[in-house]
Amino acid sequence: MPELPEVETTRRKIEPLLAGRTILSVTHDAPHRYRDTHLAHGRQVSGLSRRGKYLMLHLAAAEADGEEHDLIVHLGMTGGFRLEEGPHTRVTLTTDAGTLYFHDPRRFGKMAVVPRGVYTGMPTLLGMGPEPLSEDFQEEEFVRQAATAGAVKPWLLSQKPVSGVGNIYADESLWRARIHPAQTRLTPEEASRLYHAVREVMHEAVEAGGSSLGDGLGNYRQHDGEPGAFQTRHAVYGQTGKPCPRCGTPIQKIVLAQRGTHFCPHCQPRRTEDPA
Ligand SMILES: [Zn+2]
């Protein structure tokens, strides 16, 4: 599943193809999944950004309404952009410079065009925490929230303490910080280690171009793609039974909050006593 680094990589790759271009049409046959895309027609793409796992195409105001809009894209499990049409093409986006195809074999991806900043129909986006690589992600605030949080991995996945951390990078960050995924109420030392681990892991993954990106447009490939550079560096994710890179203990997999969770039982022991 694409997480922040994969979405960021996609953004970087499609930005040169879209920035400054005018959208002529967005066509598809699933208006419930790709909402109000007709509002993008005739608008110039003023820029692209990313918020957590959401890709945002910023659209200039049209003469008719004078209002800037955003075309918001969530890649879902398997969504990605390509230059060629294929059997899993769901949306065709044509600009004055060319055409991009949104492929999505499993159809979990979504799009919506909304007036800039009006995210009322998108609770995840509305309640999203700070970007992990931005200055808004403050150690002090993270430590303060972590002191009263429930099980740490589901807390990270909620997107509230920090945005964009999904299953892979939650497992990797917790391993790096030596914290059990089910640990509750982190001590300030634990929370500080986790804060820095999240930043490091996300930074390295973004630099490496995400975990599982295929061709030059950053389409995510679940089954048949080339592994991304970061995938070869996973310490625990998908490494069940293999030796922990730090201590050699076999990596264990458990299910936590319905998510497959990988950790080293030696490096990440569950602390039972309450922090003083
Ligand atoms: Zn270990």
For the chain, 276 residues long, give each residue's pLDDT as a single digit of tens: 778 888 999 999 999 999 999 999 999 999 999 999 999 999 999 999 999 889 999 999 988 788 999 999 999 989 999 999 999 999 999 999 999 999 999 999 999 999 998 888 777 788 899 999 999 999 999 999 999 999 999 999 999 999 989 999 999 999 999 999 999 999 999 999 999 999 999 999 888 876 554 444 444 443 333 445 555 579 999 999 999 999 999 999 999 999 999 999 999 999 886 655
Q: Calculate the alpha carbon distances from 161 to 19, 95, 121, 152, 232 in Å.
A: 31, 37, 21, 10, 27
Could you give the residue numbers annotated as active site?
A: 2-3, 53, 259
171 belongs to a structural domain: yes
Query: 113 and 160, same structural domain?
Result: no
Query: H or E segment at 58?
Result: strand 54-59
d(CA 141, CA 206): 24
Residues 93 and 118 in one domain: yes
In this structure, the answer to whether residues 94 and 149 fall within a common structural domain is no
Ligand 1 centroid distance, CA of 189 (Å): 19
Q: Are residues 105 and 143 in the same domain?
A: no
Tell me whether residue 159 is in a domain: yes
Distance CA 133, CA 131 (A): 6
Same domain, 193 and 107: no
Ligand 1 centroid to residue 263 C-alpha, Å: 8
CA gap 19, 4 in Å, rounded? 21
Q: Is residue 107 part of a domain?
A: yes
Give the Å distance between the CA of 24 and the centre of ligand 1: 53
Domain end: 126, 147, 166, which one? 126
Pairing mode, if any, of strands 54-59 and 45-51? Answer: antiparallel
Structure letter (DSSP) for residue 251: P
Beta carbons of 66 and 78 less than 8 angstroms apart: no
Contact 196, 255 (CB under 8 A): no
Identify whether residues 109 and 13 lie together within a single domain.
yes
Q: Are residues 115 and 169 in the same domain?
A: no
Q: Which tokens go with 163?
A: 């945005």
What distance in angstroms lies between residue 186's CA and the mean position of ligand 1's atoms? 20
> Which CATH number belongs to the domain containing residue 192 in this structure?
1.10.8.50
**Confidence (pLDDT) at 216:** 42
Residues 77 and 179 in one domain: no
Last residue of a domain, one of 126, 153, 185: 126
Give the Å distance between the CA of 243 and the centre of ligand 1.
8
Rounded CA separation 197/175 (Å): 9
Q: Which domain holds residue 164?
A: 139-263
Please check whether residue 271 lies inside any domain of the structure: no
Structural domains counted in the chain: 2
Residue 120 shares a structural domain with residue 159: no
CA of 29 relative to ligand 1 center, distance in Å: 49
Same-domain check for residues 156 and 232: yes
**pLDDT at res. 73:** 96
In terms of residues, how long is the chain? Answer: 276
pLDDT on residue 223: 33
Cα-to-centroid distance, 90 and ligand 1 (Å): 43
pTM of the predicted structure, to 2 decimals: 0.80
CA 178 to centroid of ligand 1, rounded, Å: 8
Place of tokens 């030596």: 178
Same domain for 178 and 119, yes or no, is no
CATH number at residue 46: 3.20.190.10
Ligand 1 centroid to Cα of residue 236, in Å, is 9
Integer Cα distance of 175 and 263 in angstroms: 6
For tokens 């410079």, name the residue: 97
* Pair 93, 177 in one domain: no
Of 100, 126, 152, which residue sits at a domain end? 126
Q: Give the model's pLDDT for residue 8.
A: 92
